[in-house]
Structure 1
Amino acid sequence: MSSTLTRTFTVAALSALAWLPATAAPVIIPAPPQISSTGYILMDADTGKVLVEHNADEQLPPASLTKMMTSYIVSGDIESGKIGEQDLVEVSVKAWRMGGSKMFIREGTQVPVIDLLRGVIIQSGNDASVALAEHVAGSEDAFVDIMNQQAALLGMTSTHYKNATGWPAEGHLTTARDLSLLAQALINHHPEHYALYSEKYFSYNGINQPNRNKLLFTDDSIDGIKTGHTDEAGYCLVASGQRDGMRLISVVMGTRSEGARANESQKLLAYGFRYFQTHTVYAAGEVLSTNRVWGGQRDEVQLGVAKRVALTIPRGAEKALKAELQLPEVIKAPLSAGQQMGRLTISLEGETLYDQSLVVTEDVAEAGFFARLWDGIKLFFFQLFN
């Protein structure tokens, strides 16, 4: 006798707890656009689904895209209470002397953390990056150790930092895929500070500078993230935007000009928004099955999903999603809320998109001795004749 029961539904039918065969026309997605970039990737920020990629794992110099990690660490320290937004940072000689793009802070002055963070994000200030690194870790070298530790925690397996700015250095490398993971973390882990990436201008020391991300000025749906450029790295851009409840992240590295990095990013984002959607299949805690419980103070238990189930699918394909439940034939008390039991698999045209355990939605205590004895007798005959 099989220990599990398998039932297949369309997703819509499963939500209604009624069986229905899945039928839908095949989904056809056009080929992605041709992108003039050394390495690139397009990801759904919500689900992590990669929609387009090319040389996404090739290690390349990130230039000022490095500052995404610098700001990520600072945002984390602010939110954890290690530092405060209004804490004053004394500007060192090293920070003041930094070349390249600058916030124009002055040696010996004190600057609030939040102003320096804006200087990093909006003005791409090398001086602001070093000042924050020294404030957080005591030195830029010590801060770099934190950067590499954080990269490992985020799964950025092909990234190695040598400084907090992106200043050219041998071995200072990352990939388009790793940058998409960092961008996803910036958006999801620090939403309040992520809003800084959409600010178009920041003025400090009497100098007003525009954000170098041209997409902020041409597309209202774009709200970040960071540009980078050196002779070795070329022109790079990590961009993100949101339309109709879908947030995408694009990374382009090694383009030929400021205009090219914006145009190539726009092509990727437009493709993703036009042909795909982020579809919430089930809400967190949604019940998918009600099952008989043997030997419990209650006769039934509900099984559902612990977390929201969201999938990136072709637009209009939600009716073709097929859900499969694998349920135990016999469920015995006691049961605890959150206990894993059974399995949910969701597929589209034969491709598995989701495969996770279901969970018990509420406790079911064990019944008394005589109730368990009677249920045991009934279970014996149930199994005998089924």
Structure 2
Amino acid sequence: MSAPTGRPPSVVLAGGGTGGHIEPMLALADALRRRDPAPRVTCLGTARGMETRLVPARGYDLRLIPPVPLPRKPTPDLLRVPGRVRRAVADTRALLAELQADVVVGFGGYVALPAYLAARRAGVPVVVHEQNALPGLANRIGARIAARVAVTVPGTPLHRGEHVGMPLRTAISGLDRAGRRGEARAAFGLDADRPTLLVFGGSQGAASLNRAAVAAADALTAAGVQVLHARGPKNTDVEVPARPAGAAPYVVVDYLERMDLAYAAADLALCRSGAVTVAELSAVGLPAAFVPLPIGNGEQRRNALPVVEAGGGLIVDDADLSPRWIEATLLPLLTDPAALAGYAAHAAAAGVPDADDRLADIVLEVAAGDR
């Protein structure tokens, strides 16, 4: 099936739920919108997800389908899943017909599964994009029926997966860190020429990172290292006393609205290793000390490993992160410009800044019937 001549292809994107699904979906949508002629892009989501706010804000049409949450463990709720799937698939299939969909692109999660099944029944080809090193259930199913399968992390165990990378916003993928450094540091009240550590734990912060970084504040700033620390909007108890006059600043903020400027300001990051975070850091060439989330199936460690193995970062277990580890491991690195430059070069070499366009090429090839 391919788009009839005389109209642009109709591309349906299924990536609602969390920011980890929504951000790459919107980055792909932006890449498609830059094409000439631009395809018609419609996003699928549910009423309970972040997409209800993020998708319209970026100027894309959002159509809602019933959610199909998949229990991770056998529970009585598992018995309700088949009925929920049937209803969601029927609703989604009707939407695909209304939209005259030429291709469905899924990013995993509870929006993607009914989209994959509805597309198969409607004869619409599917493209799957997997963000994490360990794929979820929806994408493992989708990969079996997909025309093409794109993965972010090399070696992801997904049927016929092609390494494409993570689609990112152009504000990140096109960032000139060196060129924006002065502007970025001034924006956060940092000194222009000091080595800079960026600490962040995702949109809500991370308690273990907050504790370790704050406890190491005196050692860092005494050595001339300044810190930009995003504590999370609810963690108002995370504070660092004002530094003495002439000392390196330690700037604490609730949230970083401009991650591009935060990356430009920094020489090294201390952070979790979610899929989007790892992809963004490597795309901009910012080395990091990754602290994988200590719960789940270990995917955060796997996300970071290719960058670390390429020499673009470090991994420390959450249980081993401490002020002493920061002082013994990060402080010598932050005060060694040559070592920092080497880590940055290796991080950049592991990045894929044009993954949005690579995935857009695949999607349009499939929509045109070239599989």
Shorter-chain TM-score bucket reads under 0.3
Question: Highest relative contact order (Cα 8 Å, sep 6+), 1 or 2?
Answer: 1
| More strand by percentage | 1
Task: State which structure, 1 or 2, has the greater radius of gyration over its C-alpha atoms.
Answer: 1
| More helix by percentage | 2
- Tell me the TM-score normalized by structure 2: 0.26
